[in-house]
Structures are given as C-alpha cells and as structure tokens.
Structure 1
Amino acid sequence: MTGALLASLAAFLVAAGSPGPATLSAAHVAMAHGRAAGLAHGMGLALGLFVWGVLAAFGLGAFIIGFAPALVALKVAGGLFLLWLAWGCGRRALGTEAATSTGPSQRFFRRGVLLNLANPKAIFAWLSVIAVGMPETPDRMFVVTATLACGALGVAIYAAIAVGFARPRVMSVYASWRRWIDGACAALFAGAGLKLLASRA
C-alpha cells in the first residue's frame, strides 16, 4: 500500500505542479499582490483541485472525460475564464494602476477555486493518480488516504509558489518589469484559453 500511495503522490506532483494556467496564476498573484493574496489564491486553487479529487474518487472524473458534452462544456468554461484572466492582465499591462494594488483575500480565493474547477488539467491530474498509483482493486481506506494525501500535496505546491514568488526581491523585479510580465501573462492565458476553445471537438 505504501508503494502505491507514493506512486500516486508522485503522479499527482508531476501533473499538478507542472507549468500551466494554475501555477502561472499562483505565481502572478503572489508577485503582483503579495504573500497574503498569493496564499489565499493558492488555497482556492488547492480547494478547486481537491473537489475534482473527490469526484474522481467516486468515478465522476472518468465519466466527465468520457461524456463528450460535459467535457466540451468544461473546456468552454475553462477557455472563457482564461480569456477573462488574459483580459485583466492585458489591461494592467497597458494601464497605470499600481503593480501591488491589493483587494480582499476572498476575491483571490474565489478566483483560485473557479480557475481549477474550470481547468480540465485538474481532472487529468487526478486521473493520472488513478492510472499510476491505484491498485486494481483499491479498498475504501486507500482511496480516502490517497485523495487526502494528494489534496495536502496540492496545498503544499500552491503555498510554496505563493511564498516563493512573494519574496521582496521577486516582487521588486515584478514592479520594475510589470508591463512586460503582465503582457506575457496575458499572452499565456490567452493562448491557453484559445487552445481550450479550439479543442472542443
């Protein structure tokens, strides 16, 4: 059981921690708004990811992947949300507002939850856990343990990103290059969103 659990954690770490819209958003919020906002956003991302883990544990993740209308709806929602994030980054890149302007932490938390709920990569992260780590006939205790352990790992991943990118030196570099960094984030979010929308078929 220990080997299967470690395999599940390794698969989840690779899938959830690899570069993508969620990790990009976690880094950007931390750089632009500081540690508190970054951690709030990261915990929202972790919660959204964990919701998919619970659904996957009950077999609903595979159902969504296999049910074309549900997958298309998720991709459209995710694509539009990423375009909305791109629009916000683009406006900041062209605007004059302060780079570290802050807002209520709840706003960043909600954004994180919505981003991973609308992120198909979150489903595939959990399906990779099932494919790599789950025994052929897993018992209920193993499923619960693996889901909770991966959920805790998700918290650790996003917290580490938030703390790392909210360091004063990183934020100082962001402040100096804000327009370029925001513009690059806008392009990356837009590219990811358009890619999702184009993959509806």
Structure 2
Amino acid sequence: MTPSLLFTIVASGFIYGITPGPGVLAVFGIGAARGRRAGAGFLCGHLLGDVVWCGTALAAIVGAREIGSTAFDALGVLSGLYLFWLGLRAVRARAGSADAPQGPARQPFWHGVIFGLTNPKAYPVAVATFTALLSSRAELLHWSMLPWLIALSFLGGLVAYAILIGVVGASRIRTLYQRHELTITRLCGVMFIGFAINALWHAVPGLLTSRT
C-alpha cells in the first residue's frame, strides 16, 4: 500500500465522518441539550454504523475493480452523478430546509447505534465518496487490502468524530456552527461537486474506451 493510497483512505473516512449530514446534525442537537458526554456517547454508537456501511462500500468498490475496469468505471460514473446531485442540493439549500437536529436521547450510545445502522443515506454516500476519491488509484485496490482499507477509513472517521466532540463541547464554536450552518452546508455542497467532477473525470474516459 503506497503512502498516497494510505492517506487517501484515511482522508476519505475523515471526510465521510465530518461532512454535515443527519448524523452531524443529530450530535449537535444532543450536545446542545445534554452536553459533550452525551454527544460523545452518540458518536461512539454511530461509529458502528460507519464501520458497517464504509466496509460494505469498500467491498463493493474493490469487487467492482476485481470484476474489471468497466464495472469500476460504471460505478464511478454513478457515484459522480450522485455526488453532483447531493452537492447541487446542498448549494441550493435554504434556511429551514435541512433535517432538524435531533433532540435529547435517554441513551445516547444506543441511539447512535440505531441511527448509524438505519440511516438510508449512509451506504450510497459512502460508496460515492470513496469511489470519487479512489478513482485515480483504482489499479492498486485488491481483496487482500480490504481489512486495511476498512481499518484506515475507521481511523479517519475516528479523527473526524474527535473533532466533532470537541466542537460540541465548546459553546462558542457550537453557536458559530449553528449560526452559519447554511453557509457550511453550501460549502460542503461545492466540495461534493468537486468530488463528483473528479470521479467523472477518471471514470467517463475509461467507460467510453471500453465501449469502443
């Protein structure tokens, strides 16, 4: 495993974990109501869902790569289009259109477990994000690397969640986030569009070449 691939996997897990979405909104809602400890408990439970969905996504990506470049390129095109759609929605978001933060939970850890495992957006977002960032290094992916890929993505997500826990515990930063939530969401939308362009840039030429 090359250093660049290692860094890309860790960065993918980090970006997946820290990008604003239902989980981030939920932890801010719980943290605002019950404090840092409850928010940390929720995120610790949520990590289980991240491992399941990121592991499944990475298995699908490696499987597509092993089947052949055409399958991986097709997955790259679908992922790019999905990320572009998500990014466009985020850029066009308006105040009050985002999912409302979750209220207090009696058992934050188990709430995080259930929330992470049942989030319908988790798997497609994981596939799209990892595919977009790994598309330029597809030739390096093999089944023997899957445990390391999952472990490194988990490490990236762990770093992201550590930052979120720190933010939830700091009232000024939490207030700043909530005040500028729409701007942050739109900036993340621009980032998703950038990932989408990167995925399409690497996938479309290969797909067209295979058809000719």
TM-score range, shorter chain: 0.5 to 0.7
Gaps of 5+ in 1: 135-142
In structure 1, what is the equivalent of residue 190 of structure 2? 191
Q: 1:147 Cα shift?
A: 0.9
From the superposition, tell whether residues 175 and 52 of structure 1 become closer, same or farther in structure 2 (CA, over 3 Å): closer
Contact 1:81 1:193 survives alignment (8 Å): yes
Q: 1:124 Cα shift?
A: 4.0
1:116 to 126, 142, 160: 126
In structure 1, what is the equivalent of residue 103 of structure 2? 101
For the residue of structure 2 that corresponds to 1:155, the secondary structure is helix
For the residue of structure 1 that corresponds to 2:189, the secondary structure is helix
Contact 1:86 1:185 survives alignment (8 Å): no
> How many correspondences in the alignment?
179
Per-residue Cα deviation, 1:71-130 (whole angstroms, up to 9, x for no partner):
44433333334555678884278x9x7x6635743334424334213x2x3114445555
Contact 2:83 2:125 survives alignment (8 Å): yes
Q: 1:7 Cα shift?
A: 6.6
From the superposition, tell whether residues 122 and 82 of structure 1 become closer, same or farther in structure 2 (CA, over 3 Å): same
AA at the equivalent of 1:123: T
Q: 1:148 Cα shift?
A: 0.5
In structure 2, what is the equivalent of residue 23 of structure 1? 18
2:6 to 2, 6, 9: 9
In structure 2, what is the equivalent of residue 181 of structure 1? 180
From the superposition, tell whether residues 66 and 145 of structure 1 become closer, same or farther in structure 2 (CA, over 3 Å): closer
AA at the equivalent of 1:155: F
AA at the equivalent of 1:47: V
From the superposition, tell whether residues 112 and 191 of structure 1 become closer, same or farther in structure 2 (CA, over 3 Å): same
Per-residue Cα deviation, 1:131-190 (whole angstroms, up to 9, x for no partner):
4x56xxxxxxxx444111110111122122213311376442343224333122221233
AA at the equivalent of 2:179: W
Please list, as runs of the form range in 1=range in 2, the aligned pairs for 1:15-164 lying within 5 A after superposition: 16=12, 20=15, 22-25=17-20, 28-29=24-25, 30-33=27-30, 34-58=39-63, 59=65, 60=67, 62-67=69-74, 71-82=76-87, 90-91=95-96, 101-102=103-104, 104-105=111-112, 106-109=114-117, 110=119, 111-117=121-127, 119=128, 121-127=129-135, 130-131=138-139, 143-164=142-163
Contact 1:46 1:158 survives alignment (8 Å): no
Contact 2:93 2:186 survives alignment (8 Å): no
Q: Distance in 1 between matches of 2:73 and 2:158?
A: 32
Q: Distance in 1 between matches of 2:28 and 2:156?
A: 16
For the residue of structure 1 that corresponds to 2:43, the secondary structure is helix
Q: Distance in 2 between matches of 1:166 and 1:173?
A: 14
From the superposition, tell whether residues 127 and 90 of structure 1 become closer, same or farther in structure 2 (CA, over 3 Å): same
TM-score with structure 1 setting the length = 0.61
In structure 1, what is the equivalent of residue 171 of structure 2? 172
TM-score with structure 2 setting the length = 0.58
Q: Distance in 2 between matches of 1:102 and 1:28?
A: 14
From the superposition, tell whether residues 128 and 150 of structure 1 become closer, same or farther in structure 2 (CA, over 3 Å): farther
